[in-house]
Structure formats: C-alpha cells, structure tokens
Amino acid sequence: MATGGAATLFVTGTDTGVGKTRAAAALIGCARAIGIDAVGYKPVAAGCTATADGWRNDDAEQLLAASGGGLAYADVNPLALPAAIAPHLAARDVGLRIDTAILDAGHARLAARHALLIVEGAGGWRVPLDERIDFADWVGGHRWPVVLVVALRLGCLNHALLSVEAILRRTTLAGWIANVLPPPQERWQDNLDSLRARLPAPCLGVLPPDGDAAANRAALDTSATRSLLGRA
C-alpha cells in the first residue's frame, strides 16, 4: 500500500450515488480515532459550485472536514470540475484533459506528510479519465487496495459481483462497505446476507440510512475495519 511513506486505500462504488463519500469520511474518522494520521483525497471532482475561493465540491469538502485540519482545499481536490457528469466530459467542457501526473503529484504531496490516504474515486470502478485511461488503470497501476461501497438496493448483487470481478483483475479487494439507502429496501437484509456469502473480502460495516458523521463512523468501528486500518 505504501507510496512515499504512506499507505493508500482507494474507495470506489458499484455506481454513482452509492455513498462513497460517507464511507470514505467514516474510514478517515475511524483511522484517526485509533491514532493513525489519515487524510482524504478526492483527486477529481465533477459537479462543483462556484465560490469566492474557486470551484468547490461537497464530497471533497466532507473529506477535508474529516481530515482534521491543516489542509487546503486544493490538497484534497486538485481537479474541481463544474459539470456533474463523467469526469472526462466535465474536463472537456472547460478545455482540459485529465492528466494522471497531476493526480499522482497531489497524492505524493499528501503521502509525504501523512500516514494513510483514503482516496475516493468518482462514480464506479471503470469511470473514464480521458479517451483511453480510466480509474481502474490509474489505481491498478499503483496496486492500491480497494474498498468497494455497495448501496443495498435492487440490482446491487449483480453490480457488486461485476465490480469485484473487475477490481480483482487489476489489484486487491481489501473489503467492502454496505450502505442502507433511505427509504430502506424491503429485502435489504437478504441482499446483505447474499453479499456476505459471495464477496471474497470482509464486510467492514453497514452504514445506516441518513446517518450523520458520528453514526457512520460508529457503523464502521468493527474488528474488520480496525484490522484493515492497522495493517495499512
């Protein structure tokens, strides 16, 4: 996991809107609670609001808040893109091309100062970064372990199993996090049990519907999460 002295966990999802940011912020909180200097990194954020200080993304702001202070917004999110669409398209809209060297440089700056980086992707595992490269290429090239976030809704079994199959072609699956979306699906517990039986990595916890930061962190305060973070 180590790069520049730090360990890295990459958080991806089965799709967009599945709770990656809630999970990533909770992982940061859990790590910091056991004395690990963990910070968040959202290298590319598509869907930003114009502010007096520049474009800002809510997901990146949540990671910044979870990281304990001392970081600038640009440290956490070097590429903030206005449109809430696929990153390569959002970049094209403003005349940019996403260069993974920029993503690597931002990661290296944080890795030089902190013990653990929780890196959040955009959308799912295979979301494109440009015409040829996607997140799977970037993360797989570094061999960072992946934590998969699964929203417990109709279709989640297929989406999770396909995502894991693709992840394992490039790197390792460190664990997965279930997210109970509001209103909870009637058979969400059955889906959770099916995922526990089929996914080849530990469940790190189950996020509650509409949980705040403290509730999300408590939901991930499991032996599996502590073991993973302790090895990072």
Closest CA to 46 of 83, 92, 15: 83
Active site residue 20: no
62-105 tens-digit pLDDT = 999 999 989 999 999 999 999 999 999 999 999 999 999 999 99
Cα–Cα dist 177/150, whole Å: 6
pTM comes to 0.96
pLDDT tens profile 3-44? 457 899 999 999 999 999 999 999 999 999 999 999 999 999
Residue that is written with structure tokens 């998969």 in the block: 148
Give the structural domain span for 142: 2-231
Give the CATH number for residue 200: 3.40.50.300
Quote the number of domains for the chain.
1
Phi, psi angle pair for 166, to nearest 5°: -70, -40
% of residues, the chain, pLDDT over 70: 98
Residues 89-117 as b or e (16 or more Cβ within 10 Å = b): ebbbeeeeebebeebbebbeebbeebbbb
| 12 neighbors 144 (Cβ within 8 angstroms) | no
Catalytic residue among 20, 42, 114, 217: 42
